[in-house]
Amino acid sequence: MPTFAYTAVNTQGKRTTGRLDADDRGAALVSIESLGLIPVDVTASVSGTRPTTKNNDPGVGGFSRRVGLGGGKVKPKHVLAFVRQLSSLLSAGVPMARALQILSRETSHAGAKAQWDGVREMVIDGTALADALAQFPKSFPPIYVAMVRAGEAGGFLDVVLKQIADFMSRERELKSKVGTALIYPAVLALIATGVVTFMLLWFIPRFSEMFDEFGRSLPLLTQIIQAASTALLNYGVFVLIGLIVLIVLAKQALSSEAGRRKRDEVILRLPLVGTAAARFSLVRFCRMLGTLVGAGVPLIASLKVARAAIGNQTLTDAVDLAITNVQEGAPLAQSLGQCPQLFPTSVVEMVSVAEESGRISEELVRMAEEFEEDLDRQLRVLVSLAEPAMLFLMAAMVGTIVVGMLLPVFDMWDAVQ
């Protein structure tokens, strides 16, 4: 069994050192805490030699294990459970290190356990929880880290963690609704692509052989369809490569700030889709801002954090202007009213009344729930319109190909008569 040398402090802050045997470093940490001590540094030692402290990450203290070990993304459901359970444990008076130990022990997901262990080790070493979570940006985005930092500074960390959990839960529900609404149109588009490809690769060539024997000039529509079929048969691999190259170039263009901004502008201009996208951003902004203000975070800081939840660069730029106005002393409602695309007149009026009554956080959360229901209705309308539109598009494409192939047949029939 390995031997571990440790440095720890007791409840009075007195530093102490020692050695103990444990199966692994995690078990050693548990044993040290069972002695009523707070571990500062724990390293494996070789019998007969003086233990040495390895510090692979100066920003985390004297721990030998890299916290990046579990740096991959953990599924949102595991992160949600972690945040909600940590809030419950802290509310019950469980010390932070002990709460993190419980969560690490209880999780059955290896990646989550690695990350929770890394967070726990950094916290034990004196790192703030927000800074520890920031080491895993794929699991804890900056918007959540900012909320945790505000909770630590204000002394209401358990409240903020609960509100983060509630926000994450509502976000998952909202994104699930959007994803579900897009499934059927996507399936129809896939079927339409498959049907057209099959007709161009199998159906059209057989007709083309017959038309060649006919020896007469073909209608323009038939010639275009035949050309498309021939190109796909002879150059299908190059067409596929070209599509892949276009997709890669499009992704690279959209990864730039200018590309994202242009994409967001186009989305907002689309009929119905632009309205739904703006409403989605409004729901996220109102819920996040209401959550932060309700937790006691100052308004300016709350606005800056909530801005990151919008998800649309064009609308984010408009909120930046509103934040500047609030910093200069303008009322929140008046400042938000300068972005009518995101904040309709009705929202501005409700925010104005809430400011006067001192119930801004409650009103923002209520508006988020109300507009989420409205967004759900908009999504259902979009889906109900997308279904017949996709069916019509499928019928138009298949019908055009069929008509194009039948036109020469009619010519042949006329010639025979």
Distance CA 89, CA 99 (A): 6
**pLDDT tens digits, 142-200:** 777 877 877 787 777 888 888 788 878 877 877 777 777 778 778 888 888 888 888 88
Which of 108, 117, 95 minimizes the C-alpha distance to 26? 117
Summarize the confidence of residues 373-386 as an average pLDDT: 79
Closest CA to 300 of 340, 328, 281: 328
CA dihedral (53, 55, 60, 61) positive or negative: positive
Fold designation for 166-417:
Receptor-associated Protein (1.20.81)
Domain spans of the chain, in order of start:
3-45, 68-140, 166-417
The three-class DSSP label of residue 60 is coil
Do 68-140 and 166-417 share a fold?
yes
Average pLDDT score, the chain: 78
> Which CA distances in Å does 251 have to 29, 183, 226, 258?
46, 22, 32, 12
> Which tens digits make up the pLDDT trace of 293-326?
877 777 887 888 777 777 777 788 778 888 888 8
Residues in the chain: 417
Residue of 412 and 416 predicted with greater confidence: 412
Quick check: 333 and 352 in contact, CB under 8 A? yes
- Eight-state DSSP code of residue 72: S
Q: Say how many C-beta atoms besides its own lie within 10 A of residue 203's C-beta.
A: 15
User: What is the pLDDT at residue 67?
Assistant: 41
Question: In the block, which residue shows the tokens 């900056």?
Answer: 142
Mean per-residue pLDDT, 371-380: 80
Cα distance from N-terminal residue to C-terminal residue, the chain: 98
Residue 245 has pLDDT above 90, yes or no: yes
More confident residue, 61 or 14: 14
Residues 311 and 282: their CA atoms lie apart, in Å, by: 10
Nearest residue to 195 (alpha-carbon basis) of 59, 398, 352: 398
Residues contacting residue 120 through CB under 8 Å, at least 6 positions apart: 97, 100, 101, 104
DSSP string, 10-36: -TT--EEEEEEE-SSHHHHHHHHHHTT
pLDDT of 18 higher than 80: yes
186-190, 233-237, 378-382: least confidently modelled range: 378-382
Question: What pTM value is reported for the model?
Answer: 0.58
Gap between the Cα atoms of 102 and 43, Å rounded: 22
- Per-residue confidence at 38, pLDDT binned at 50, 70, 90? low
Q: Read off the pLDDT band of 58 (50, 70, 90).
A: very low
Architecture of domain 68-140: Up-down Bundle (1.20)
pLDDT of 103 above 60: yes
User: Among 7-21, 122-136, 398-412, which is the least confidently predicted range?
Assistant: 7-21
Rounded distance, CA 291 to CA 160, Å?
8
pLDDT digits (tens, 9 = 90+) for 66-96: 444 444 567 888 888 899 999 899 888 888 8
Amino acid at 322: A
> For the CA atoms of 204, 206, 210, 215, what is the dihedral angle to 10 degrees?
50
